[in-house]
Amino acid sequence: MAKVIGIMGESGAGKTASCRNLDPATTFYFDCDKKGLNWKGWKKQYNDGLNNFQQTNLPSIVLKVLHNINESEKAKHIKTVVIDTINGIMVAEEMRNVKVQGYGKWTDLASYIWEIIDYALTMRDDLTVIIIAHSETISDDNGIVFTRIKTNGRKLDKIVLESKLTTVLLAECKDGQYIFHTHSDRNSVKTPIGAFEEDEIQNDIATVIKALEEY
């Protein structure tokens, strides 16, 4: 089974930028927000001509390409897949069905997101799938604050996307430095026991993947 890593954080926290050191020759990038990447020279690294980049927020297309990457001999060189962001798919699907009445549209939305993540987990062993997501911070009636992956609709809230992942990192810009939080502190962050000694590390997903491979 593939390694599936979640990266959550607020807008501007460095989620996309954390992928800057991935090897474009072995990476496929889904730009589901359709806003492009945010480091100098990215268009030369990821584009249609290189067949390693796609701007889409259609869950059916994302799932179709994932199947192709997993099953096609021509895609065996791909070792990392980035979905940026899973919320881009959720919001677009919600807006496409904004005039649809009833509970069914939320069930469909939950099903689409579930299928993508569930299939990612079954992909070949030499693959790492990175799910980038926006975060939300909520507080209960007692004032306890908790940060988690932001989802659309109660059906997805009940699923709890983090429950499908063994690694969830929280991206943050702290004192001008972009970091990942590696251990839970009033949030849904989690990493394999002993994989990371420090609570905060540089937001470089390539380094994270290497650490997990050596774990």
Quickly list H helices, the chain. Answer: 42-45, 59-71, 86-96, 104-121, 154-159, 205-214
pLDDT score of 165 more than 70: yes
From 100-104, 120-124, 177-181, the region with the lowest mean pLDDT: 100-104
| Top-confidence residue, 215 or 48 | 48
- pLDDT attached to residue 141: 73
Q: Name the pTM for this structure.
A: 0.92
Domains, the chain, in order of start with CATH, read 3-214 (3.40.50)
Q: Lowest-pLDDT range, 15-24, 59-68, 93-102, 199-208?
A: 93-102
The predicted-structure confidence for 123-164, as pLDDT tens digits, reads as follows 999 999 999 999 999 887 777 788 999 886 665 666 678 989
Higher pLDDT, 24 or 114: 24
The larger pLDDT score, comparing residue 94 to residue 197, is at: 197
| pLDDT at residue number 90 | 87
Poorest-confidence range of 34-38, 68-72, 103-107, 187-191?
103-107
Q: In the 8-state DSSP scheme, what is residue 187?
A: B
The two structure tokens encoding residue 126: 């030499």
Task: Assess contact for 35 and 132: CB atoms under 8 A.
Answer: no
**Please, what sign has the CA dihedral across residues 136, 197, 21, 71?**
negative
Model confidence at 77, in pLDDT bands (50, 70, 90)? Answer: very high
E strands present in the chain: 3-9, 27-31, 53-54, 80-84, 128-139, 145-149, 167-174, 177-181, 200-202
Of 53, 4, 7, nearest to 31 by C-alpha is: 53
